[in-house]
Amino acid sequence: MKRKLVAAVLCVSALGLGACTNPDGTRDNRMTGATAGAVGGALVGSAVRGDSRGALGGALIGGTAGALIGNQQDQRQTQQQQVYRQPVYQQPVYQQPRTW
């Protein structure tokens, strides 16, 4: 039973980590932190308590903590991108002179 639980948690976490990008290609630290925290919390909770309730509680606590930490990293990354944004230069458009 314990092996099946661990295998299920690892499969779900692998699927979750595969989808941790934003539409613009940047990494979503909140989802990555939540997934890693949930997996780590489930393993620790299962080892400490020795049953599925411990794994569930550990996953809940670890996932919440990981999501909060990842959210802070996302906010810091957004702030740095706004500060260090490069100016966008447009290429001049050539217009042919009018000849009457």
Mind listing the pLDDT tens digit for each residue in 72-95? 988 888 887 776 666 667 777 777
Q: Find the helix packing angle between 52-83 and 29-49, rounded to 10°.
A: 160
| AA letter at 17 | L
Tokens of 76: 């810091």
What pLDDT score does 31 carry?
83
What pLDDT score does 35 carry?
85
Flag whether the pTM goes above 0.85.
no
What pLDDT score does 69 carry?
92
How far apart (Å, rounded) are the C-alpha atoms in residues 18 and 3?
Answer: 23
Question: Euclidean distance between the first and final Cα of the chain, in Å?
Answer: 88
Residues lower than pLDDT 50 in the chain: none
